[in-house]
Structure 1
C-alpha cells in the first residue's frame, strides 16, 4: 500500500465523492452507513485522513454539502454511533506481574502488552490526540485549534448536531472511566461543551479548550501536524 500523502486535488476529489454519495439517497440511515463505511475502509490508522476529508468540506463554500454532512453526523449522534477512530488509552500499557525466569527471547513480541484503545468521535479524537499520550505523536496546538474550529463550524450547519454534540461532550466530561480521559482532558471537554452550548463562534469554542485548566505535556514531547 502506498504511503504517499494525497495531494490537495486528490483530497478535494475524495471529499466530492463522499458528498455525492451522501446526497444520492434521502434516507438518513443510508447516509450514515456511507460515512461509516468510509471510516472503516480507511482503517483505524488512517482516521486522521477521515478528519482531513471532513476538513475539506468544512473549508468549502458549499453550504449544502456542509449541511448534508452535519446532518449525517447528527443521525450518528442520535444513535450513539459516531464514525470513530481508535487511540490508545493513557497509561494503559503495563509490565507483566512476574518477570522472573524469562529468557531473552521472551522479551520479543508483545511482552510489554498492547495498550487498550478507545474509539473516539471526531471532536474527542482531536482533543485526546492533542492532549494525551497515545500511539500517535501529539498534535500541535495551532493545528488542533484550527481543525477543531473548522469541525465545529461544519457541525453547526445542522441545528441538531449543534445541540447533540456538546451534550455528548458534557456527558463525556463526567465519565471517569479509567483509561478513557485524563482529568485535564475531561476539563477541556467540559469547556468545549459549555462554549459550544453558549453559541460562541467556532474559533472561540476551540480556544476555550486551550484556555481551560492547563496541563503541561511531559517534557521532550514532539508534536506534529494533521
Structure 2
C-alpha cells in the first residue's frame, strides 16, 4: 500500500502531472490513463493527496498547463473514467460498510458534511481545496460546464444512496452557482451556506 512521504513533494508531483497531460495530449486516452494510474497507485486512503496535487497544479501552473489538466479531467469524465476515491455510503459507519466511488468535487462535498457531528473537512478547508480544484476546471469553459452538469446529475439522483439529502441540496446549490458563472469561491460558499442553513433549521445530522 502506498504511503505518504513525511515531506510530500507536492510541487514535483504537480509538475509531473502537468508534463504528462501536455505531452500525451489533454484530450487523449493516454493522458487519462496516466491520471488513472496516479490515482490507483495512491489508493483510497491517499486519494486526498491526489486532490492536493490538483490544487497545487492550480496554484503553480501556467494557464495553458492548468487547462491541459482540466481538459484531461473532463475527458476522463466523458469516458466514465474520472479519477475517484471511495467513501462509506452515508449512514454506514461499521467496518465493511458499503463504499461508493466519488469524483474530486463530490468527494470533498461529502467530506465537508459533519456526519455524526464531525466533518473530515472544516468549511474553510473545503473552500480552499474544492475552490482550487474548481478554479483549475474554470481554465476550460467546456470542462466547467460538463463537470457542473455532472454534479447536478449526482445531486438529482435519489437512488444512488451515496449522499444524504443535506449534501445533495448543497451540491445542487454549488452546481447551479458554478454553472451560472466561473466563480469557484462563490459556488463553494453556496455549498457551505446550504449546509449551514439546514443545520440551523434542525435538518442536519444528529
State the TM-score bracket (shorter-chain normalisation). Answer: 0.7 to 0.9
Give the ranges of 4+ consecutive aligned residues of structure 1 lying more than 3 Å apart after TM superposition: 1-5, 215-219
Tell whether the 8 Å contact from 1:88 to 1:118 is kept in structure 2 after alignment.
Answer: yes
Gaps of 5+ in 2: none
Tell whether the 8 Å contact from 1:39 to 1:47 is kept in structure 2 after alignment.
Answer: yes
Equivalent residue of 2:112, what SS?
helix
| Two-structure CA RMSD over aligned residues (Å) | 2.1
2:145 pairs, out of 156, 163, 166, with 163
Aligned positions of 1:71-90 closer than 5 A: 71-90=71-90
Aligned positions of 1:87-98 closer than 5 A: 87-93=87-93
Distance verdict in 2 for CA 1:3–1:33, change over 3 Å: closer
Matched, 1:154 2:154: no
- Per-residue deviation, 1:200: 4.8
Matched, 1:18 2:17: yes
TM-score relative to the length of structure 2? 0.88
Q: Which is further off, 68-77 or 112-121?
A: 112-121
How many residues are treated as equivalent by the alignment? 198
- Per-residue deviation, 1:90: 1.2
Gaps of 5+ in 1: 94-111, 220-226
TM-score relative to the length of structure 1? 0.80
The 1-side partners of 2:128 and 2:189 are apart by: 9
Aligned positions of 1:68-147 closer than 5 A: 68-93=68-93, 113-131=95-113, 133=115, 138-147=120-129
The 2-side partners of 1:21 and 1:2 are apart by: 22
Matched, 1:192 2:191: no
Tell whether the 8 Å contact from 1:74 to 1:158 is kept in structure 2 after alignment.
Answer: no
Equivalent residue of 1:184, what SS?
helix
Tell whether the 8 Å contact from 1:77 to 1:161 is kept in structure 2 after alignment.
Answer: no
Tell whether the 8 Å contact from 1:88 to 1:117 is kept in structure 2 after alignment.
Answer: yes
Distance verdict in 2 for CA 1:184–1:40, change over 3 Å: same
